[in-house]
Amino acid sequence: MISGGGTGGHIYPALALIKRLQERRLLDLDEVLYVGTAKGLEADIVTKAGIPFETIEIQGFKRKLTFDNFHTLTLFHKSLTRAKKLIQEFQPDIVIGTGGYVCAPVCYEASRLHIPTMIHEQNSVAGVSNKFLAHFVDRICYVFPEVAHQFPESKKLVFTGNPRAQEVSALKPQGMLAELGLNPALQTLLIVGGSRGAAPLNKAVVEGIPEFSEKPYQVIFITGRALYDNVIKEIGTEKTAPNVKVLAYLDNMSQLLPEIAVFGGRSGATTLAEVTALGIPSILIPSPYVTHDHQSKNADYLVKNSAALLLPEMELNGRSLVAAADHILLDSEVWQRMHMASLKLATTDASDKMIEEMMSLIRAYRH
């Protein structure tokens, strides 16, 4: 049984782990149950993947004392009952939580029922659910070294990396640049603000298009579905450039990564796992709107290891974005150094490491 939800950063590592278990013939799809929420991204992503899916109703606490928090407490107690019922019906050999509020009741009830439990922390700042669960679970898998000291249960800690990195590291070029009408022989900068887009990032790219149009490299600009029409209006006919491809979104974006020279965008855990898996130098613009500013701390790890440039949102504009791209793409030595530094941070055996821990726990409980 695996549980995680709310954001893609909690969902995609879980799916990557399930896929690897299948590849190693350790699991069939009818032997896994994914537990999420009906309103979270997981409801769509997991069911589309054909994985058995059940839901629990739960929500997070507000930081301020409000009456809504009393409703949250009521939901949490109900979620424990629901989680216990799902566990008793499914009878899992092990329960894994990958983050988000939904995994709290699932992993907590599993520990009370004496079933092996593991959690996976993808970010450099531990999430609320994982901090709570750390007291009860058997193993705490993590990605960023900085997060280890945030868990007092040091004997439970296991560095694994992100399962998504192992999945992406196996990808090969598939000719997507040519399919998009771009030149496969040119270095390509991919700029993306996520499926919903990021307005400040979009504004900077639009400002930078006149300069980008004169560069010897090409740009793929993903606006986000909701913001695409506005961006096209802002670009108009005057700023169009043959070496800048503007798209609303790509559902198979990871398939494009092996053909990308530089990534520009947010610094979510899954994104960084993907780009380091392929050794892609990055221009990171952390979102300042996330809990505990964890994207800035994620980005700092790559910047300190010379795998990325940091461009804070308050310093972001067309000129600064183009300058960062030029710094990497117009100097082959800089690109090569950052490429090698990025590869050194890759953990391309993360799923296998987690599977080893899973099997070890299952054996220990059975004996």
Residue 47 marked ligand-binding: no
The one-letter amino acid code at 106 reads V
Residue 160 marked ligand-binding: no
Residue 221 three-state SS? strand
For 94, the token pair is 């092990």
With beta carbons less than 8 A apart as the criterion, state whether 189 and 322 touch.
no
Neighbours of 344 (CB within 10 A): 12
Closest by alpha carbon to 100, among 163, 8, 182? Answer: 8
Residue 85 belongs to what H/E stretch? helix 68-90
Phi, psi of 205 (to 5 degrees): -65, -45
Q: How far is CA 151 from CA 101, 104, 272, in A?
A: 18, 16, 22
Pairing state between β 95-97 and 117-121: parallel
Residue 317 marked ligand-binding: no
Q: Could you give the strand order of the β-sheet that contains 53-55, starting from the edge strand earlier in sequence?
A: 53-55, 34-36, 2-3, 95-97, 117-121, 139-142, 157-159
The one-letter amino acid code at 289 reads Y
Residue 195 marked ligand-binding: yes
With beta carbons less than 8 A apart as the criterion, state whether 266 and 299 touch.
no
Annotated binding site for UDP-N-acetyl-alpha-D-glucosamine: 7-9, 123, 195, 295
Annotated binding site: 7-9, 123, 195, 295
